[in-house]
Amino acid sequence: MEIKANNPNLKSWVKIPENSDFPIQNLPFGIFYSDKKSKRVGVRIGDHVLDLFELYQNGFLNNLNLSASDLNNSFLNKLMGHGKTGMRNLRDRISDLLSIDNIELHSLEGGFDNILIPVSSVQMSMPVNIGDYTDFYSSKEHATNVGMMFRDPANALLPNWLWIPVGYHGRASSVILSGVDIHRPKGQIKPDPQGDPVFAPCRNLDFELETAFITFDGKPLGQSISTEEAEHFIFGMVLFNDWSARDIQTWEYVPLGPFLAKNFASSMSAWIVTLDALQPYKVDSPKQDPEVLAYLKFEGKKSYNIELEVSIKPENTEETVICRSNFKYMYWNMSQQLAHHTVNGCNIRNGDLMGSGTISGATPDSFGSMLELAWKGTKPIALVDGSERKFIQDNDTVIMRGHSVKGGVRIGFGEVRSKILPAL
Ligand code: CA
């Protein structure tokens, strides 16, 4: 189905800086506020934010079945209750209003300064009230690298990995917005492998380069979502840094998997790029061998070409790009993840967050974590200021960026950035 707002020929009357992540073909959703405005729904265009509540109040969003509380709201969840079709119609209408030939906002008596606001004058807030957070483990390269380091290089992938989109249930309460600093976590570590554990600040603090998708309401408990239906239940995607304390993880993860090594913080980008906007960037996924079970089979393209990069910025110096990867490397796609998640009858809800798992490519410069980039501390990464990193140090800022390009149209996610403060 053709999505009007994705037309690559569209131009906006809003000035879009060159190489912006936010041309008229993107129109991602977020929650913003300012000195003058309470938290509300906004859409990003170039270096501006469109205030959807003000648009609604001025009669520009009629005939979309919206109510004021959908937009004058500190989370997107209520608006997302309109589902895939409702959100698509809203994005199409916003695209119309911002198109170069449309004069509706220009005709508004008193001007539109209160509707289209410079992004520099607003603050962003968590866009979604996240109910449940699930994290997958869907990069074959990442799973292989970790298996080689922690278990057995000859049998790096566990036997189930090529059959199951492996995942676990994470912690929603500590998912935080880009720009929120976090303190180095503390916990049980074993600096001496032969000795007893000690309680101390994490010494091997790591990021995980991920994306995450956010769902609409799914089906009732007991029913399943097929790979064919899955994208209908996905609202959009964000960049996601799934912070990981590797030394805490090494000691605690047997037999139930990571716990405190992962639940202290996970950072997400502020603008939710709709899955609709990403449709032009669909690509084939890696070939799956052995053939997957019937409920995991899918037709057509289900992966997306999203270029990703990670930088480390030490205090007071410039940043160094330490990793370039791509979402399309993922072995298991989002439709398979969602089909697997619900195949036993587990219900998903409006505002659930599903992490992709660390997105590593085949080459050492495309690995999506410090654990892999510096190969468990044996190959330190050089930064432009002359320092080296095996893991993330206090006062380092980790920045992740991502975008898709095709036919001269670039849509992106902005960034997710967080600084590590010393342990409390
Ligand atoms: Ca993860």
The percent of residues above 90 in pLDDT, for the chain, comes to 98
Give the integer Cα–Cα distance in Å for 62 and 64: 6
DSSP 307-338: EEEEEEE-TTS--EEEEEEEGGG-SS-HHHHH
pLDDT class of 151 with cuts at 50, 70, 90: confident
Q: What integer pLDDT is reported at residue 263 of this predicted model?
A: 97
Question: Would you state the structure tokens that stand for residue 292, as one six-digit string?
Answer: 């997957």
Same domain? 302 vs 222: yes
pLDDT class of 113 with cuts at 50, 70, 90: very high
Centroid of ligand 1 to alpha carbon of 178 (angstroms): 17
pLDDT class of 229 with cuts at 50, 70, 90: very high
Contact (Cβ atoms closer than 8 angstroms) between residue 416 and residue 267: yes
Give the integer Cα–Cα distance in Å for 264 and 184: 9
Centroid of ligand 1 to alpha carbon of 307 (angstroms): 18
pLDDT digits (tens, 9 = 90+) for 159-187: 999 999 999 999 999 999 999 999 999 99
Same domain? 180 vs 121: no
Q: Is 111 left (phi over 0), alpha (psi -120 to 50) or beta?
A: left
Same domain? 95 vs 142: no
pLDDT digits (tens, 9 = 90+) for 270-308: 999 999 999 999 999 999 999 999 999 999 999 999 999
Q: What integer pLDDT is reported at residue 152 of this predicted model?
A: 86
Same domain? 238 vs 380: yes
Centroid of ligand 1 to alpha carbon of 136 (angstroms): 7
Q: How much is the average pLDDT of 118-137? A: 98
Question: Would you state the structure tokens that stand for residue 414, as one six-digit string?
Answer: 């902005």
Residues in CB range of 403: below 8 A, 6 or more apart: 21, 306, 307, 410, 411, 412, 413
Give the integer Cα–Cα distance in Å for 81 and 96: 22
Same domain? 219 vs 121: no
pLDDT class of 309 with cuts at 50, 70, 90: very high
Same domain? 36 vs 170: no
Give the integer Cα–Cα distance in Å for 24 and 12: 6
Tell which residue, 341, 294, 302, 328, has the closest CA to residue 167. Answer: 341
Contact (Cβ atoms closer than 8 angstroms) between residue 360 and residue 327: no
Which of 125, 158, 183 is the last residue in one of the domains?
125
Q: What integer pLDDT is reported at residue 59 of this predicted model?
A: 97
Which of 72, 103, 125 is the last residue in one of the domains?
125
What range does the domain containing 397 cover? 133-421
Same domain? 162 vs 305: yes
Give yes or no for residue 1 having a pLDDT over 80: no
Tokens 């170039």 label which residue? 46
Q: At 391, which CATH number? A: 3.90.850.10
Q: At 57, which CATH number? A: 2.30.30.230
Centroid of ligand 1 to alpha carbon of 67 (angstroms): 37
**Which residues carry out catalysis?**
142
What Cα–Cα distance (Å) separates residue 19 from each residue in 23, 46, 47, 299, 330? 9, 10, 11, 33, 26
pLDDT class of 150 with cuts at 50, 70, 90: confident
Query: What radius of gyration do the chain's Cα atoms show?
Result: 22
Contact (Cβ atoms closer than 8 angstroms) between residue 7 and residue 26: no
Same domain? 405 vs 350: yes
Give yes or no for residue 402 having a pLDDT over 90: yes
Centroid of ligand 1 to alpha carbon of 95 (angstroms): 35
Same domain? 312 vs 398: yes
Give the integer Cα–Cα distance in Å for 323 and 385: 17
Query: Residue 43: what are its φ and ψ, rounded to 5°?
Result: -125, 135
Q: What integer pLDDT is reported at residue 99 of this predicted model?
A: 98
Tell which residue, 41, 78, 44, has the closest CA to residue 56. Answer: 41
H or E element: which one contains 230?
Answer: none
Which of 101, 125, 149 is the last residue in one of the domains?
125
Same domain? 19 vs 107: yes
**pTM score, two decimals?**
0.98
pLDDT class of 2 with cuts at 50, 70, 90: confident
Q: Average pLDDT over the chain, rounded to whole?
A: 97
Same domain? 109 vs 163: no
Centroid of ligand 1 to alpha carbon of 299 (angstroms): 27
- Total domain count, the chain: 2
Give yes or no for residue 228 having a pLDDT over 90: yes
The percent of residues above 70 in pLDDT, for the chain, comes to 100
Q: Are strands 353-355 and 133-136 parallel, antiparallel or unpaired?
A: parallel
Tell which residue, 2, 400, 126, 360, has the closest CA to residue 239. Answer: 400
Same domain? 95 vs 244: no
